Amino acid sequence: MSEKPVEEMTFEEALAELEGVVTRLERGDVALDDSINLYERGARLRARCQQKLAEAEEKVSKITLGDGGQPAGLQPFDAG
């Protein structure tokens, strides 16, 4: 089974796989080489989750408020 590239994962996909990686590593029944590979993938998954959270935070901060504090629209989000 081919693993989905981390860069293409949604936050939810990356988090779910990261939880699985942590569980497998905590069990301690994984061969050393596999543990290293799992750790490296886990690090990439963690970075992806952080990236997606930062993007979401930026989007939320772009929400403009109108009179009375009600959301009035969004400012364009520039991820670059």
List pLDDT tens digits, range 7-56.
Answer: 999 999 999 999 999 999 999 999 999 999 999 999 999 999 999 999 99
Q: What is the pTM of this model?
A: 0.74
For residue 21, which amino acid is it? V
Cβ–Cβ < 8 Å for 62, 73: no
Structure-model confidence comparison of residues 72 and 6, the more confident one: 6
Contacts of 74 (CB under 8 A, 6+ apart): 59, 62, 63, 64
Q: Which domains does the chain have, with CATH numbers?
A: 6-74 (1.10.287)
- Rounded to 5 degrees, φ, ψ at 65 are -110, 140
